[in-house]
A and B are shown apart, each in its own frame.
Chain A
Amino acid sequence: MLNVIKIAARNLRRYLRRTILTSSLITLGVVAVLLFISVTGSFKSMMVGQITDSMIGHLQIHRKGYMASIDNLPLNRNLNQQQVAKVKEVLSGVDAVESFSMRIKLGAMFSNFTETTNIRLNTVIPEQEVKTVPLLSERIVEGQKKDVLLQKGEILIPELIAKGMKVKVGDSVVLVANNKDGSVNGKTFLVSGVLEGISGPGGRDGVIHLDDAKELLRIDGVEISEIAVRLKNMGDLPRVFSSLKGEFASFTNKEGNPVFEVHTWKDLSPFYNIAQMIDLMTFFIKIMLVAIVLVSIMNVMIMAVYERINEIGTIAAIGTLPGKIMALFVTEGFLLGVLGTAVGTVISLISIAVINAAGLTFNFGRQSNLVLAPTIGAGDVITIVLIVIGIAVAASLQPAYKAARMDPITALRHV
């Protein structure tokens, strides 16, 4: 086999210009795909990280039917004490769960004493919340970042309301909310920080302490709208989701209907659709790469066979077996693929390092100066390398087969 490789390599060197052109085309394709995957992958993972680590968490558990009416932030679809206890019991038994955070979601009127507007609120137990969505405190653009996020009586207000209502850190504001029984209650809060808005549900919510929410809503016992869950490793999400979904499905009410519903961040954030679009685009870019490699290698190998018909006749006449002739041409295609891929991979990795070193920034939605930090996993690189080399070999098969099947006499007569 080494001899076949040696002769195939020499044949590639014989047509050096063509070899360089073809492998350059493959290189270009590999660079385009690897850079695209790394940049979009980094964008995707950064956005997913932002969404899960500063807002949604990896999973959320609600009472059945809550998500269908989440736009209204219904208080009558909260989990009760018994149900919350059940969820806690289940989650505490799952090793993959790092932490979880109990929340009450509500809508309220926000007043700075001169103007009033609507506000959506996420009410949390700060210690649980910072463990479950650790990047939330990073979104505080004004006000001091504290370990405990906020104290009772404090509120973190969204950036848009802060600007629109001209409210600053340290100001007092009033929240007025409808209670479950239809009555109204109000409470004064101290603005302790301004939260940067991000895309997706809850991205522009204010944050108050859960105890304040209970006081505002006149809730006595335990009532929880949602439980956000953070996993130790996001890679476990499909497995844990499937397991929790199965487990919670077993809890039913008197009518036999399930009590809980479990959702991953994918069900909750519209960014998942963008992520899917990115994956689709990546797929089409890969298809284009396959087409480039297929056409260029096939073209070159067809030319190689045509130009060397007489040579094929010679080696066939002196007793080279058809299989070896085929191997010779397939190896040429293989080496072209390897050459183009190797150079392409090296250029891509260098480019990724350069982009990272340059610290390029971009804006997405209302978020600005996001640092572009492309990374690519070994798995992606290996997949692309294998695809390109596999296609290069596949593209050489037909011309190689033709060479192997060539009649030696006809080939020897060819001028």
Chain B
Amino acid sequence: MTIAYSGDFEKEILTKEKVMSLVTADHLEKTYQIGEISVNAIRGVNFTIEPASFVSFVGPSGSGKSTLLNMIGCLDPPTAGSLKVVGQDIARMDRKQAAHFRGEHIGFVFQDFNLIPVLTVFENVEYPLLMVQNWPAKERKKRVNNLLDAVGMGDQGDKYPSQISGGQKQRVAVARALVTNAKMVLADEPTANLDGETANRIINLMKKMRDEFDTTFIFSTHDPKVMQSAEIIFTLEDGKLLQRQNDNGGTNA
């Protein structure tokens, strides 16, 4: 599901967020203190993301993409403003609550795949169900097999991460991110370590998964080909949201 462009980005945020937003940022700011220097990584950003969207944050290095994804993923609290994810104000969460929230609602796909090397493909996908959500064994097995089949890794379950290719690792990572029925998957530069063809396959896979499971995918990229695959593109520069572009051509600056 994507949102129709109304022509007034700020107004659209305010009206729609109360009804159906998955993520709502309101004058969101993030400032890092490095010694005596304050670095404003995110400066007063407003946006909303609706359920089942396929969203990309793009921008040059240092523009704040990763910081924004980290805040949406409850890994980093905002310095000012408000950020609501699945209706919850993440600034009010402590470490434990944030971890619990992530385990419940958010899946992650990393640039370096970040599979656990001592676990097989099956066990890597199983890990969040086992260690985070405590699913019963039977349901767990069924769910993992479904996900592995969905990402085309059904016959690779017994292999260890060291025995599969980069593209296959990222497929496993996507399956792991989706296995908990997460409402959204955050992917920070998910294709940066993949060749062009594999990168396209991963993006297509993510889109297919979005269609299949209605899960929102939010990823960051600086690859023009990859960013074009997104249905909504937020362009960031120097910590500010410059533009929101929909796949129907609508643009808001």
Cβ contact within 8 Å between A14 and B110: no
- B: interface residue count bin: 20 to 34
- Across the two chains, which residue of chain B brings its CB closest to A12? B118
Interface stretch of the complex, out of B14-22, B93-101, B243-251: B93-101
A412 touching B110 in the complex, CB below 8 Å, given contacts A318-B127, A320-B99, A320-B132 = yes
Set of chain A residues within 8 Å of B132, measured between Cβ atoms: 318-321
A window 313-331: CB within 8 A of B:
313-322, 324
Write the nearest CB–CB distance from A101 to chain B, whole angstroms.
Answer: 69
Separation of A412 and B113 alpha carbons in the complex (Å): 11
Give A249 Cβ to nearest chain B Cβ, in Å.
63
Q: Using CB atoms, name the residue of chain A closest to B116.
A: A311
Query: Within the assembled complex, what's the spacing in Å between the Cα atoms of A341 and B76?
Result: 43
Could you tell me the distance in whole angstroms from the C-beta of B180 to the nearest C-beta in chain A?
A: 8
Kindly identify, within residues 392 to 415 of chain A, every residue whose CB is under 8 Å from any CB belonging to chain B.
Answer: 408-409, 412
Measured in the bound complex, the distance between the Cα atoms of B101 and A344 in whole Å is 45
Interface status of B114 (Cβ within 8 A of chain A): yes
**Across-interface contacts of A180 in B (CB, < 8 A):** none
Set A13, A310, A319, A322: member contacting B128, Cβ < 8 A: A319
Residues in B with CB closer than 8 Å to A409 are 70, 75-76
Q: Contacts of A310 on B, CB cut-off 8 Å?
A: 112, 114
Chain B residues near A145: list those with CB within 8 A: none
**Quick check: is A82 within 8 A (CB to CB) of the other chain?**
no
Q: Digit string of B98-121 for contact with A (CB within 8 Å is 1, else 0)?
A: 011111101110101010111100
Tell whether, in the assembled complex, residue A316 and residue B130 are in contact, meaning their CB atoms are under 8 Å apart: no
Contacting A at CB under 8 A, from B124-144, are 127-128, 130-132
Which B residues contact A (CB, under 8 angstroms)? Answer: 70, 73, 75-76, 95-96, 99-104, 106-108, 110, 112, 114, 116-119, 127-128, 130-132, 176-177, 180
A interface, CB within 8 angstroms of B: 3-4, 7, 10-11, 13-14, 310-311, 313-322, 324, 408-409, 412
A sample of 27 cross-chain residue pairs with beta-carbon separation below 8 angstroms, ordered by A number, consists of A4-B131, A7-B116, A7-B118, A10-B119, A11-B118, A14-B117, A311-B114, A311-B116, A315-B116, A315-B131, A316-B99, A317-B110, A318-B108, A318-B127, A318-B132, A319-B99, A319-B132, A320-B99, A320-B103, A320-B131, A321-B99, A322-B96, A324-B131, A409-B70, A409-B76, A412-B110, A412-B114
